[in-house]
Chains A and B, each alone.
Chain A
Amino acid sequence: MPDSPATLAAPEVLVSANKVCRSLGGRPILSDVSTEIRRGEVVVLIGPSGAGKTTFLRTINHLEQIDSGDLFVNGHRVGYRKLDSGRLIEDSTRTLAKQREEIGFVFQHFNLFPHMSVLENIWHAPVRVRKIPKQAAVADARRLLARVGLADKADKRPASLSGGQQQRVAIARGLAMKPELMLFDEPTSALDPEMIGEVLDVMKELAQDQMTMVVVTHEMGFAREVADRIIVMDAGRIIESGSPDQIFNNPQNPRTSSFLSKIL
């Protein structure tokens, strides 16, 4: 397959994965994962622990390498050049960094920068990476902080915030880069139950604002309410994909039913 995929002609497709494979130590982690994610779509990725959800999510911004397959974001192959022989050659760190600027990633454990104030966490990458004038970036950071309901925490250290607050800052930090796509890896799994709602609310608003999102989560209420599409993974494969209504009320794959019966 050439480096300019057919999907270039259809710009509404933001992420396109075709037979993405990954193995570690001879063990397959991702096997022939193929899917397309349209601009503005909210996709929720579910499946049992060890299914490969995190790994797949991380391949989309090349935090994880792939062995074979084609993965495009916004028409550009992610992480590699493909030779005529079909071999994948990893991109330079400069190219990788450029690609990642367009993709926000929210981690399970927030990974805020502890030596910076909350506000600096948000404006740092726009200033250092995007080269936006600091004044504009700081103003933007304040706006984002207000948007996630934490305007009064600007000068605090991340460590002095609750988990839910930290995760909201992490979302604001991702949004500050004005990404085309936001990836969430179990953003509420490390939180006390009473803080899950505040983070999901921020994500719901983001979805309403037409942000393209891929969310790994075990919050089935969120999936049912917000997802345009649910992808079910098991043992490194996509075993089923469909609307929330289809997946929850009429699952086709018995392993989907068995997973849902355990979690619901």
Chain B
Amino acid sequence: MKFDWTFFFQSLLTPSPAFLTGLILTIVISVVSMALALVLGTLIALMGRSRFPILRWVAGIYVWIVRGTPLLVQLMIIYLGFAAIGLFKFEDLTILGISLLAAVQAAILGLTINESAYVAEIVRAGLESVDRGQTEASMALGMRPGAAMRWIILPQAMRIIIPPLGNNFNGLMKNTSVLSIIGVSEMFLVAQAISSATFKTFEILIVAAIYYLALTTIWAFAQALIERKLNAQVGNDSAAVPVFKRVFAPRVRKQLVLEGAENA
């Protein structure tokens, strides 16, 4: 066994332009998919609470199917399956001067759909955690359902919703590695290409792993800051827990989140 330290440190500290482009694509696809999934997932969650049974049905079936099937299968159906039966074929596009390859479009669509179902469940649970009396008090003050949702229910649900959403974004960033299978040149596909060109398979995979770890760790700090701010807004004691401790002692954090929910 021989580990090429020179190659390893070179790849880690001065990654090739191709690798950096892959890293950026990983980040962009993650952020865009998550942002779209937040919108779509919230819509699905609201549909699930609609007065109209048909909308509740559609929302329920959507979540059931999307959560019950693997991401990879969903991606393949969207990218290859639809094209194979002539339903829909992704074409390379240029929007506002940014070129979007067919596979990238399919990737964003697939990740958005997949993630939206989980977001919908998280948002639903968050909305349900808000006492029914809050809606009634809003109605009694002359608020319409939309206003009650916007000003009263959502802000309170947010504290329940944010922590699991953050965890899901962590998962989504790692899941982008499966995009290599439909040919999206994100970080993992570039790493595989470097591996077959240099045969330094172990070294480059460790480098890729370290970059994923860096992404998720940076996000963990961001998430901790957001949660701390949210808790501070409602005057919750757990706001005092330092960010560093939140990131590296997740069990402590979980307890505090639950306490926060009870204090609502």
Contact = CB atoms under 8 A, between A and B. Distances in A.
Interface string B123-137: 000000001011011
Interface string B221-264: 00000000000011100000000000000000000000000011
B234 A114 contact: yes
Contacts of A93: 144-145
Contacts of A130: 142
B141 A107 contact: no
Contacts of A103: 140
Contacts of B139: 63, 96-97, 100
A177 interface: yes
B182 interface: no
B264 to A, nearest CB: 6
A104 B141 CA distance: 7
Contact of B144 (A97, A114, A160): A97
Contacts of A142: none
Contacts of B136: 63, 105, 107, 111
A157 B235 contact: yes
Given A113-B152, A114-B156, A177 B234 contact: no
Contacts of A160: 235
Contacts of B141: 100-101, 124-125, 129, 173-174, 177
Contacts of A157: 234-235
B78 to A, nearest CB: 37
A184 B263 CA distance: 26
B207 to A, nearest CB: 45
A157 B147 CA distance: 21
B151 interface: yes
Contact of A111 (B134, B144, B264): B134
B75 to A, nearest CB: 39
A136 interface: no
B143 A97 contact: yes
B140 A100 contact: yes
Given A96-B139, A107-B140, A130-B142, 11 more contacts: A93-B145, A97-B142, A97-B143, A101-B141, A109-B133, A111-B131, A113-B156, A114-B156, A128-B147, A128-B151, A129-B143
- 9 A-B pairs with least C-beta separation: A101-B142, A111-B137, A105-B140, A125-B141, A111-B133, A129-B142, A97-B144, A100-B142, A97-B142
Interface of B: 131, 133-134, 136-137, 139-145, 147, 151-152, 155-156, 233-235, 263-264
9 contacts: A94-B144, A100-B141, A105-B136, A105-B140, A107-B140, A111-B131, A113-B152, A115-B234, A174-B141
